[in-house]
């Protein structure tokens, strides 16, 4: 199986969810660096934007202006949920300690250079 993280996207005002794939982040969450988490969050936000604005140009991403949570998944691992006015994006489950992933996400988001073009 290739590096393929599936992200479930729901755009506010629609009646269905879609699934997008992220291939630029390693599957093994235990090996993630801050850069990997930055890329994952950015790609989740971009997937939400692509679903809302198909065919549009991808905007620059700043890791600000959204709510997020890491939560346990019922069959093991954790899931990342992002919510913003536009809709939601969820990815996982990932095999990593919930507190550890929460700390990494918090650190990445608090970095002043959390911007991906």
Instruction: Give tens-digit pLDDT for 44-101.
Output: 999 999 999 888 788 888 888 899 999 999 988 999 999 999 999 999 999 999 999 9
- Structure confidence at residue 117 (pLDDT): 42
Q: What is the SS3 assignment for 50?
A: helix
Q: What is the residue-averaged pLDDT of the chain?
A: 90
- Structure confidence at residue 113 (pLDDT): 59
CA distance 114 to 66: 13
Supply 35's token pair.
Answer: 């850069």
- Structure confidence at residue 46 (pLDDT): 94
């Amino acid at each position: 199986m290739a590096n393929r993280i599936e992200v479930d996207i729901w755009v506010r005002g629609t009646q269905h969810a879609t699934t997008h794939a992220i291939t630029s982040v390693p599957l093994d969450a235990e090996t993630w660096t801050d850069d990997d988490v930055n890329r994952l969050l950015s790609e989740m936000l971009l997937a939400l934007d692509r679903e809302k604005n198909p065919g549009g140009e991808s905007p620059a991403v700043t890791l600000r202006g959204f709510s997020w949570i890491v939560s346990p998944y019922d069959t093991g691992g954790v899931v990342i949920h992002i919510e913003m006015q536009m809709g939601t994006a969820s990815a996982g489950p990932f095999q990593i300690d919930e507190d550890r992933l929460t700390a990494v996400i918090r650190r990445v988001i608090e970095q002043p250079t959390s911007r991906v073009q």
